[in-house]
Amino acid sequence: MDLHFEELLGQITDFIKAEAKTDTVVGEQFELGQFKCVPVIKVGMGFGSGGGEGSEIKTKGTKGQGAGAGAGVGIEPIGFLVTKEDQISFIEAGKSHGLAAAFEKVPSMIEKIVEMKTKEKVAS
């Protein structure tokens, strides 16, 4: 088995160049009423490899080789570019604002109220 790390790394580099491009990160435009929206995502990629070879003269000249590789890709939506006529804005995904943020806090507020009521009953 011959180890060709240079060739392997070249193929991986070509793959990353092909995948981490603007078309991948910025999705296709769609319309929502009067608004034109373009989704924007964050792409992260990682790669690791290793290998080695050796020989043991004491045991009849046996040789050994080994190699391994691993890769990972992460894609996360980060928001939308939104246009209406000549105005453009960016809306973050996953971050609540205004009334939506208040509604997200309701379950923890209810838990605290129940805890307070329970403590009041125990104290009485």
User: Per-residue pLDDT tens for 7-19?
Assistant: 777 787 787 777 7
- Helix/strand/coil percent split, the chain, to 5: 40, 45, 20
CA separation for the pair 73, 62 (Å, rounded): 38
Q: What is the pLDDT of residues 91-113, one digit of tens each?
A: 888 765 555 565 566 677 677 77
